[in-house]
Structure 1
């Protein structure tokens, strides 16, 4: 089978050799196990009950057998199935009801306009720190009830904890994740006590109240849920914003089209997520010996869905080798997973981009990359760490 060195710092899931492997078959080998390259097989595997999220096996594969990262990862909601998963998801699911998401839309628009004012005053901006980091962080903190004074500290932790999915890249990745987990654990513990003593109209207060009244989860489980929630609501979305601006910088005519037809916003968001997703890979592990499409897969084997590659699979997306916000794509996105583990935060992420992008397109001409873009590793949560842009006022 083809071999893809996904741990190489320069690896890209859109390299010609990757699409050559996709044309040859649905999977490839790699240093982290099987890589799933085609959409149909990926969608089927994400819903296969014979696969799980890897449990501690993923950490062991990366040399972690104990410590703060192990103690956070193993009890995480995604590492549970059946009744245990439903019990945990039932509490955190209150964060992402349609009513909750819709109630945040005016705040998203207001914050976007304010951040756009700041970027308009400079013309040249580092988009990650000026916008992509700040908007999702502000929305998440508004939702949860995190004091604005804590945003800066919170931002570092919620960014670094997302590196958990890129441990194969090596370097200081594991150390950064460990510091982030320890910091967030301590901070969230303090928040739980504060919200218990002084409840307010925010999600953490509601979850703490439900925890105390219903006793369906332990305090440790509540803390784990909140830590997982805050990193999911911030890190994925900030990288999706930056990825989206890169895509529009490479396709300026699509940006102009969005300005002229703001009703395409929802479709533009889905196309941006298809073309360059922030969750570049989705991990699964075989829990039993199985056979899939004629391939024997031993229990314990890890399978990594290459979301970006599979979301350009011409078998699922005719014309999918083009970034086109007018195209109606029938095949579902893969980056949010599937089945009972479908990402709870997907609606909020799409709402943030859907409200923000038409405002940015109205305010600015197509973004122009004005310097070197530094990227996170291709495996895991992927996107620019730095994205220098030249932004000028929109014509007219």
Structure 2
């Protein structure tokens, strides 16, 4: 551990997993560029909004984890290269080339054409648990909704959806058990199975193309070599995982925020036209990706008078920036009518979320349906009893979200 680094064990506690925002506020006020040490690697965390935007667009902070130093091994482990060598972990011009190949698939007009199908999926999911007057919203709604939608876009057979949910949930819940060595083994096995499955799916699409994203990527790969076979599989994984993971966690976080703020819940029920702006405020208030994917300092850089040495891992704490009082009045208050201030929940700069239109649509339709169709919706346990993802998880979300409602 680097000298003077704050041990992760002092920061990532059970209390932190429940409510990280007091810790973020202390970091932002006292050490806005904070060195945090862990057994695997040290990293510098940037917490203020202005510094966050600067870092997210700083060319000296590289997203290419696969160059000299093999940083991906420190961060993701030995099985990561086959799935993570994609546009998320690359810089221009490689990032620009890879992003351009899939950007049309997520164009706002094409996503809007999916709206009737998303409505249909949402209603089917709610119909399945509505008669019971209760639901575990993560497994019965928040997780399957975005997975079903992204799988249809990618061209994944419907019979395989549950299997993919199982593998991706192993990765998402990493660290939730009491035996870290078992978690690591399970994650590596899930990564391996995902890689084999996606490689087989790519081969099948090559032989039997359809009107889907994977078929289009295979065509680009075969037609002019703009995509290597490894990039093809890794890009498919990124679209699958990113296309459902963050939306699932956001839906869970958003419902907890609303059910914990009855005045705002009542406001949104009475004014469904606020859904669009409500989604933005809910994302600012408690986003699913607390820290942006890691960057590597390619040279010595300085933020807030703190020297970050070349080769250091840098994390931009999005959820801390989104609670910066210099940019948001009373930032720890959920205010669905908030005016002014723009969050960085979807990122910033060239790595701005590619699936933003899809995520917004799924959130608006999903949250709207739950509020409309589930009268008397309430948490089935106290907020502090909710089973959350482990404190050191790269995601902020829930393992389970039990709720109750009236049916008659």
Alpha-carbon distance in structure 1 between the residues aligned to 2:246 and 2:302: 33
Alpha-carbon distance in structure 1 between the residues aligned to 2:315 and 2:372: 38
C-alpha contact 2:11 2:23 (8 A) present in aligned 1: no
Work out which of the residue numbers 128, 135, 145 in structure 1 matches 2:138: 128
Work out which of the residue numbers 377, 389, 394 in structure 2 matches 1:380: 394
In the alignment, which residue of structure 2 is the partner of 1:293? 304
Deviation of 1:54 after TM superposition, in Å, equals: 6.1
Deviation of 1:317 after TM superposition, in Å, equals: 0.8
Verify: 1:320 aligned to 2:331, yes or no.
Answer: yes
Alpha-carbon distance in structure 1 between the residues aligned to 2:22 and 2:230: 46
Alpha-carbon distance in structure 2 between the residues aligned to 1:113 and 1:368: 19
Verify: 1:271 aligned to 2:281, yes or no.
Answer: yes
TM-score, normalized by length of structure 2? 0.88
Q: For residues 204 and 385 of structure 1, do their structure 2 counterparts lie closer, same or farther at Cα, with a shift above 3 Å needed?
A: same
Deviation of 1:331 after TM superposition, in Å, equals: 2.1
Deviation of 1:49 after TM superposition, in Å, equals: 0.7
C-alpha contact 1:252 1:366 (8 A) present in aligned 2: no
- Which is worse superposed, 149-158 or 174-183? 174-183
1:264-292 superposed Cα distances (whole Å, 9 cap, x missing partner): 11111111111111111112221111222
C-alpha contact 1:376 1:383 (8 A) present in aligned 2: yes
- Which is worse superposed, 189-198 or 258-267? 189-198
Work out which of the residue numbers 199, 202, 218 in structure 2 matches 1:189: 199
In the alignment, which residue of structure 2 is the partner of 1:146? 156
- Which is worse superposed, 219-228 or 156-165? 156-165
Verify: 1:340 aligned to 2:350, yes or no.
Answer: yes
Deviation of 1:180 after TM superposition, in Å, equals: 2.2
Verify: 1:137 aligned to 2:147, yes or no.
Answer: yes
C-alpha contact 1:109 1:355 (8 A) present in aligned 2: yes
Work out which of the residue numbers 256, 267, 278 in structure 1 matches 2:266: 256
C-alpha contact 2:49 2:322 (8 A) present in aligned 1: yes
In the alignment, which residue of structure 2 is the partner of 1:19? 25
Unaligned runs of 5+ in 2: none
C-alpha contact 1:136 1:233 (8 A) present in aligned 2: yes
C-alpha contact 2:21 2:320 (8 A) present in aligned 1: no
Deviation of 1:218 after TM superposition, in Å, equals: 1.4
C-alpha contact 1:77 1:88 (8 A) present in aligned 2: yes
Work out which of the residue numbers 219, 223, 232 in structure 2 matches 1:222: 232
1:14-57 superposed Cα distances (whole Å, 9 cap, x missing partner): 35343233223422232242222211111111111110236155
Partner SS, residue 226 of structure 2: coil
1:140-193 superposed Cα distances (whole Å, 9 cap, x missing partner): 111111111111101112233446899xx9554433332222112111122112
Alpha-carbon distance in structure 2 between the residues aligned to 1:157 and 1:229: 15
Partner SS, residue 188 of structure 1: helix
1:224-279 superposed Cα distances (whole Å, 9 cap, x missing partner): 11011101111111111111111111012222221211111111111111111111
Q: For residues 364 and 332 of structure 1, do their structure 2 counterparts lie closer, same or farther at Cα, with a shift above 3 Å needed?
A: same
1:324-374 superposed Cα distances (whole Å, 9 cap, x missing partner): 1111242232x3322111221222111100122222211123532213421
C-alpha contact 1:239 1:383 (8 A) present in aligned 2: yes
Alpha-carbon distance in structure 1 between the residues aligned to 2:175 and 2:49: 21
Give the number of aligned pairs.
388
Deviation of 1:10 after TM superposition, in Å, equals: 4.5
In the alignment, which residue of structure 1 is the partner of 2:405? 391
Counterparts of 1:47-126 in structure 2, within 5 Å, are 47-53=57-63, 55-56=65-66, 57-62=70-75, 64=77, 66=78, 68-73=79-84, 75-126=85-136
1:282-319 superposed Cα distances (whole Å, 9 cap, x missing partner): 12221111222322111112222222222111111112
TM-score, normalized by length of structure 1? 0.90
Alpha-carbon distance in structure 2 between the residues aligned to 1:346 and 1:233: 10
